Structure 1
Amino acid sequence: MRVSAGERAANYGILVFFALLALAPVGTILVTALSPETPADAEAGGPLHWENFARAWEQGRFGEYLQNSVMVALVVVTLATVLSVMSGYAFGTFTFPGSQVLFYVFLLGIMVPAEAIVVPLFFDLRYLGLTDTIWAIALPQVAQSVAFGTFWMRAWFRGANRSLVEAARIDGAGHHRVLWQVLVPVARPALVTMVLLMFMWTWNEFLIPLVMSPSGQLRTAPLGLALFQGQYVQGTTLLAAGAVMVALPVVVLYLILQRHFIAGMLSGAVRE
């Protein structure tokens, strides 16, 4: 089917319009973050006030909060990725008694919201002495991420090329070698997409770190931004600078992995 020049121009026009509509809030925040905070700053000259980021970093203690977020994200993404790959491989390639029922139990982690279980979970973790530790923040998010990761990787493994597995079997490879040396390298787009989504959800999580660290010793970046907002309600410039710093790691990671992410979205989730 051939598309005329007019139709092509209309399609691009619509895409550009919606792209600008989506990017307008981001541009507003960036412009606000680089605006003068006080009239004295405006009189000092310079169209871009990069010192706002340094002020927000120091006054909002974003260095500490970002470090906590990085530690939590590393624990959650690492554990959830390994467990999701193994469980997805088991559900996607094996048939055993109760596999369907057990798979639906895994899916409960996607369907049940965190708000429904966070209070009893807090008391359980407090009984174990884990509150105000990185494990109290990370383990509930690992469970949530594994539920999604199992669903995601099961769909990919069920549609994987069986000839690769059969060739590896003929060469004497066991399940461990077939999974990690044959299938996982081929599943890179789906894995990258899963890792990026897990990182984004973990980085932006607000409720679990708030509840599981009642003393505030392990505030993550979103919690720090909310606290900063309470302190600087009128200082929209510093607040915008803090918001940019909190969102920047996710944006940078997406830009680095963009090609694999798009490939995984197009193919990794439609192999059911």
Structure 2
Amino acid sequence: MIVSRSESLVGRVALVLLMAVTVLPFVSLFVTALHPTGTYPPGLAWPEDPQWGNFLLAFESAQMGRLLWSSALIVAGVVPVAMIIGTAAGFAFGQVRMPGHRIGFIVFVLGLTLPFEGIVIPLYYQMRDLGLLGSRWAIVLPLIGLFMPFAVLWMRAHFVTVPKELTEAAQIDGANLWQQLWRIHVPLARPALASLAILLFLWTWNQFLLAIVLVDDPLKRTMAGALGAFQGQWGTDIPLLCAGSLLILTPTLLVFVIFQRQFVSALLQGSVKG
């Protein structure tokens, strides 16, 4: 398909405008965070005396070190488990095609339509009855279940594109299902696994609703969930609040920037395989 020069120009202008709209809020947060604490900065005006110490003050006030540790524990509890189960189930749906796999596939598709807001109250009472309310397990266990439909369907989309001849050759060599999965299919699924890990990390790290509803202690929440407590304490101090928000956003931005090649590679691989 040949694209004219005018169409190419329009596309580039649209991309530049989209990038500007995306970046502008972060620029506004950054500029506002450099103003003196207790002031109300006017728009995007650069301060005469940038207060770089606001970031250190926000880090200490919000106890970011402990929040980072709490978020890391929650991510370590959610992402590996969700990936292992999702990979195994995706392989079962994509390659093994066990009896009833169509019904199971429909169930997982319906699971994608389940909103967090619609089940947060039942989850609250369930965690309370299990004695987990207020602990990090109250965030970890529900997130594993809620992420499972997407993880299974994501990995299934990869496994259905793998030639059946690979599985048949492994069977002839005497490999059982687990050996076929972990020695043959998982190495081939690295792009899909990498992108899934990035998505699960971002969603877990930025989880807000379940964290504030199921855990009272801000230091046991995710960093995004702890932002509510930080906002309640410093809600009238706009520069400090902006500095804290940027510190909370920084880990997710770094992860995406570092692993963007793997993420884009997985998306392109899926589009090419169709």
TM-score, reference length from structure 2: 0.88
Q: Pick one of 153, 156, 176 that aligns with 1:154.
A: 156
**Structure 2 residues without counterparts, runs of 5 or longer:** 40-46
Verify the 8 A CA contact 1:189 1:268 in the aligned structure 2.
Answer: no
SS at 2:174 equivalent: coil
Q: Pick one of 266, 269, 273 that aligns with 1:267.
A: 269
Mean Cα displacement is larger for which, 210-219 or 20-29?
210-219
Rounded to whole Å, the distance in 1 between the matches of 2:88 and 2:131 is 29
**Superposed CA offset, 1:27-81 (max 9, x none):** 1112222333368xxxxx9854321111001112222222211111111111100
Rounded to whole Å, the distance in 1 between the matches of 2:184 and 2:226 is 43
Write out aligned runs for 1:220-259 (5 A): 220-259=222-261
SS at 1:65 equivalent: helix
CA deviation after TM superposition for structure 1 residue 158, in Å:
0.6
**Superposed CA offset, 1:205-256 (max 9, x none):** 1121222224556232112212111222221111111111111111111111
Verify the 8 A CA contact 2:70 2:220 in the aligned structure 1.
Answer: yes
CA deviation after TM superposition for structure 1 residue 203, in Å:
1.2
Write out aligned runs for 1:4-43 (5 A): 4-37=4-37
Rounded to whole Å, the distance in 2 between the matches of 1:251 and 1:245 is 10
Question: What amino acid does structure 2 have at the position aligned with 1:36?
Answer: P
Q: Pick one of 187, 194, 197 that aligns with 1:195.
A: 197
Mean Cα displacement is larger for which, 74-83 or 182-191?
182-191
Aligned to 1:133: 135
Give the alignment's Cα RMSD to 1 decimal: 2.3
Distance 1:254 1:72, change over 3 A: same
SS at 1:173 equivalent: coil
**Superposed CA offset, 1:99-142 (max 9, x none):** 21122223333211122222222222222212222211101000
Verify the 8 A CA contact 1:132 1:217 in the aligned structure 2.
Answer: no
Aligned to 2:182: 180
Distance 1:20 1:97, change over 3 A: same
CA deviation after TM superposition for structure 1 residue 200, in Å:
1.2
CA deviation after TM superposition for structure 1 residue 147, in Å:
1.1
Aligned to 1:116: 118
CA deviation after TM superposition for structure 1 residue 270, in Å:
7.4
Distance 1:58 1:6, change over 3 A: same
Question: What amino acid does structure 2 have at the position aligned with 1:125?
Answer: M
Mean Cα displacement is larger for which, 230-239 or 262-271?
262-271
Question: What amino acid does structure 1 have at the position aligned with 2:125?
Answer: F
Aligned to 2:169: 167
CA deviation after TM superposition for structure 1 residue 86, in Å:
0.3
**Superposed CA offset, 1:169-207 (max 9, x none):** 333322212211211121111111111111111111112
SS at 1:259 equivalent: helix
**Structure 1 residues without counterparts, runs of 5 or longer:** 40-44
Q: Pick one of 120, 142, 145 that aligns with 2:144.
A: 142
Question: What amino acid does structure 1 have at the position aligned with 2:53?
Answer: E
Distance 1:173 1:213, change over 3 A: same
Pair 1:74-2:76 in alignment = yes
SS at 1:35 equivalent: coil
Question: What amino acid does structure 1 have at the position aligned with 2:133?
Answer: T
Question: What amino acid does structure 2 have at the position aligned with 1:58?
Answer: E
